Structure 1
Amino acid sequence: MIRPLPSLGLLDRVFRVLFPGVLFLLLNGCANVSYYSQLASGQLQLLRAREPVSTVIADPSRDEKLRAHLAQSQKARAFASQQLHLPDNQSYRLYADIGRPFVVWNVFATPEFSLTPQNHCFPIAGCVAYRGYYSQSAARGEAAIQRLNGMDVSIGGVEAYSTLGWFNDPIISSMIGWGDERLATLIFHELAHQRLYVKDDTEFNESYATFVEQEGTRQWRAFRGLSPANEAQVQQRDQFTQLILDTRTRLTALYALALPADQMRQRKAAEFERLRGEYRRMRDSQWAGDKRYDAWINAPMNNARLLPFGLYDQWVPAFAALFRQVDGDWVKFYAGAEKLGALPVVERKAALKALAGA
């Protein structure tokens, strides 16, 4: 049964009561007051902006395209719970207009000669491989500080995120712009985080949610009688991702060598040029010159720009293998994923590696 949405006034009062205590605990852990204050303020603004999707759809004065997108989103939302066995609650049955292209901007940072991300730890979410900001300027300020400290840095805009069931997450205006199917994939991805989340393992969490998103989208298309997604584009995405992962593997091996800094920088730069060259050859010989990834590949390159690929894609083949093992039974799949998540981290990675090779 869907829980009724608490009033925003009640939620605001609870939020205000709880936040000072949480902040006190965070500060005792040497956290930064301004950073956590902007997190609390940003989340509270998002909660206050929510309204039922049904209200927006029923209001003829609202933008017609928005109402149409939201109407389609509710079909995908129902499919998520009924067919994909994702949580059935008020999340994504609400809408929030935030007036900006992204809800948060994540700052990724690594040492100059390492692909190990700078982790940040939080009481609810555990440790994650990025730091999020509700303001793009604040994210740029943090990135500038990290660069001054000699770190490789990248900023990525985020269309949506999950509060892991602590609040009823809304469809955010930042999720709307890419069309109905992209909106559905985001709903599947974020609800997957509500279904299962393992503290301190970003690679596991994001790879798992990415698999649910991809398989859920495939089934959503089939449910509506649509042909499978453009296989050429899917293949291109997978090939491009593999190029990045292969580059990560070579860089990891390079950084393990005891080389002088200048030589390490030269070889690091050479690996990025190798990536660009391999991409262009693949684009021109196999993709008929499709330039969809040109902007990304031609931008300045560093370790931090490669992080999201390892985080969001590293174990997708493992979860795909797990799904095949249970003959596509979603309930059994989630049970298997939960067992993996309960393993000690070393055993978990070994099990995922074995699945990926199966």
Structure 2
Amino acid sequence: MRQFLPRLRAVSAPLLCLALSGCASTTGSLGYYWQSMVGHLELMQSAEPIDRWVARTDIAPALRERLRLAQRARAFAVAELGLPDNASYRRYADLKRPAAVWNVVAAPPYALTLHTWCFPVTGCIGYRGYFAQADAQAEADQLAAQGLEVEVYGVPAYSTLGYMNWAGGDPLLSTFIAWPEGDFVRLLFHELAHQVVYAEGDTLFNESFATAVERIGVARWLATHSTPQAREAYATSEARRGAFRALTRATREQLAAIYAQKDALALEDQALNAIKNEAMQAFRGRYAQLRAQWLGTASGTQPSVTTAQVAGYDRWVAKANNASFAAQAAYDELVPAFEALFEQQGRDWPRFYDAVRQLAQQPQPQRREALRALLPAQPPQKSS
């Protein structure tokens, strides 16, 4: 099943460090780099060309058809979206586990700023990925012991930014191969976008750009290469994601305003924590109302989902904290700015990518300022 909303798909920073710069970084022991290298090599060794998979007689027809769809979507990405024509996503690997890697994110108790880990090549990023869930949880436990709020979540795919194309490129994975068509295709476009432009140390820029590419690209794919059923299914799930994004965005803004009071009003932690808990309770209450609408349990509404389809949302809301809100912001905050830039460049992909590359070459404050100037005005939030 498609994950309920976009999550941080990792860039494999330790692997790139090993391949390109020898790992002189500030992230800790060589054991972390070793697990990253071994995990990635195992993944790469399990991948085989899609044509070879399609020719097998011992695979399910649904998998064969999905691999063929992947080939069509890969060609579309090159011809229609100007994405790289290289070795990536032309092989498939059955990982026999639910996630490619597990990410750890963390944030302070009264801020929506992600804790960062710094690597050569990729710079400082707001997550740390592990190929074993237990290792990720151990890292999270250490961060929690330092007073940070943490989250561990499975990641369906990650990017090596094209640096491993010489070795066969990033493969399609069993962790997302069975997703609904629209969600499957958009993830493919997202990961390829990371190979077009990558700004060192700017997770918000990189993920917002790739998310904008996936959203624009999947809309074009569904309009020209898909079925009415797939379009309807995607529209339904996207409406649900949109409603949830609006709810979490409003809550992030509320939390940010609360945390700003800590210094402005010299609030003590106990008072600030009480206000924060009230905001989180309100968030969960508003989600419960939204959930009731989806499930048809609210008065006068028709069900649009099953309880299984909202299970991911339920888990996220139950565990929501500063780390999860801050991580989600990397996907949401600047996407409308990139979409506006695409329109500004005449919906021309090469011109758009050139404009994004120019932004990536600017210092981070200037590029953020330029993108925020493109953001459309947000309507005022209704008081609850």
Length-normalised TM-score, structure 1:
0.88
The 1:128–1:21 alpha-carbon spacing in structure 2 relative to 1, beyond 3 Å, is closer
**Which of 283, 289, 293 is matched with 1:275 structurally?**
283
Correspondence 1:350 to 2:342: no
Instruction: Determine the C-alpha separation between the residues in 2 that align with 1:171 and 1:351.
Output: 35
Shift of the alpha carbon at 1:285?
6.2
Shift of the alpha carbon at 1:296?
3.7
Instruction: Determine the C-alpha separation between the residues in 2 that align with 1:238 and 1:20.
Output: 39
Length-normalised TM-score, structure 2:
0.82
Correspondence 1:245 to 2:249: yes
Shift of the alpha carbon at 1:197?
0.8
Instruction: Determine the C-alpha separation between the residues in 2 that align with 1:179 and 1:202.
Output: 27
The 1:21–1:336 alpha-carbon spacing in structure 2 relative to 1, beyond 3 Å, is closer
Instruction: Determine the C-alpha separation between the residues in 1 that align with 2:66 and 2:371.
Output: 37
When structure 1 is superposed on structure 2, of 255-264 and 164-173 the one drifting more is 255-264
1:95 alignment partner, SS class: strand
The 1:30–1:144 alpha-carbon spacing in structure 2 relative to 1, beyond 3 Å, is closer
Correspondence 1:102 to 2:96: no
| 8 Å contact from structure 1 (residues 140, 155) kept in 2 | yes
Which aligned pairs between 1:189-208 and structure 2 lie closer than 5 A?
189-208=190-209
| 8 Å contact from structure 1 (residues 161, 190) kept in 2 | yes
When structure 1 is superposed on structure 2, of 179-188 and 76-85 the one drifting more is 179-188
The 1:62–1:318 alpha-carbon spacing in structure 2 relative to 1, beyond 3 Å, is same
Q: Which amino acid aligns with 1:51?
A: E
Q: Which amino acid aligns with 2:96?
A: G
1:157 alignment partner, SS class: strand
Instruction: Report the count of equivalent residues.
Output: 339
Instruction: Determine the C-alpha separation between the residues in 2 that align with 1:180 and 1:195.
Output: 23
Q: Which amino acid aligns with 1:353?
A: R
Equivalent residue number for residue 133 of structure 2: 136
Equivalent residue number for residue 4 of structure 2: none
Shift of the alpha carbon at 1:120?
0.8
Deviations 1:35-67 (Å, cap 9, x if unpaired)?
Answer: 111111111111211211111111223333222
Shift of the alpha carbon at 1:20?
11
Equivalent residue number for residue 157 of structure 1: 154
Equivalent residue number for residue 349 of structure 2: 330
Which aligned pairs between 1:150-299 and structure 2 lie closer than 5 A?
150-167=147-164, 168-224=169-225, 226-227=227-228, 228-229=231-232, 230-256=234-260, 257=262, 258-284=266-292, 288=301, 292=310, 294-296=313-315, 298-299=317-318
Q: Which amino acid aligns with 1:275?
A: F
| 8 Å contact from structure 2 (residues 124, 202) kept in 1 | yes
The 1:164–1:225 alpha-carbon spacing in structure 2 relative to 1, beyond 3 Å, is closer
Shift of the alpha carbon at 1:357?
2.5
Shift of the alpha carbon at 1:298?
4.3
When structure 1 is superposed on structure 2, of 152-161 and 292-301 the one drifting more is 292-301
Deviations 1:153-197 (Å, cap 9, x if unpaired)?
Answer: 011211011100111110011121323332211110000000111
When structure 1 is superposed on structure 2, of 117-126 and 193-202 the one drifting more is 117-126
| 8 Å contact from structure 1 (residues 111, 150) kept in 2 | yes
Q: Which amino acid aligns with 1:325?
A: Q
| 8 Å contact from structure 1 (residues 102, 174) kept in 2 | yes
Q: Which amino acid aligns with 2:259?
A: Y
Which aligned pairs between 1:119-130 and structure 2 lie closer than 5 A?
119-130=116-127
| 8 Å contact from structure 1 (residues 19, 40) kept in 2 | no
Instruction: Determine the C-alpha separation between the residues in 2 that align with 1:320 and 1:19.
Output: 33
Shift of the alpha carbon at 1:310?
0.4
Give aligned-pair identity as a percent.
39
Equivalent residue number for residue 22 of structure 2: 22
Structure 2: unaligned runs, 5 residues or longer: 1-14, 378-384
Shift of the alpha carbon at 1:314?
0.9
Shift of the alpha carbon at 1:200?
0.7
Correspondence 1:79 to 2:98: no
Deviations 1:268-306 (Å, cap 9, x if unpaired)?
Answer: 111111212233344556983656375146413311121
The 1:32–1:253 alpha-carbon spacing in structure 2 relative to 1, beyond 3 Å, is same
Equivalent residue number for residue 303 of structure 1: 322
Instruction: Determine the C-alpha separation between the residues in 1 that align with 2:182 and 2:287.
Output: 27
Larger RCO, structures 1/2 (Cα 8 Å, 6+ apart): 2
The 1:177–1:160 alpha-carbon spacing in structure 2 relative to 1, beyond 3 Å, is same
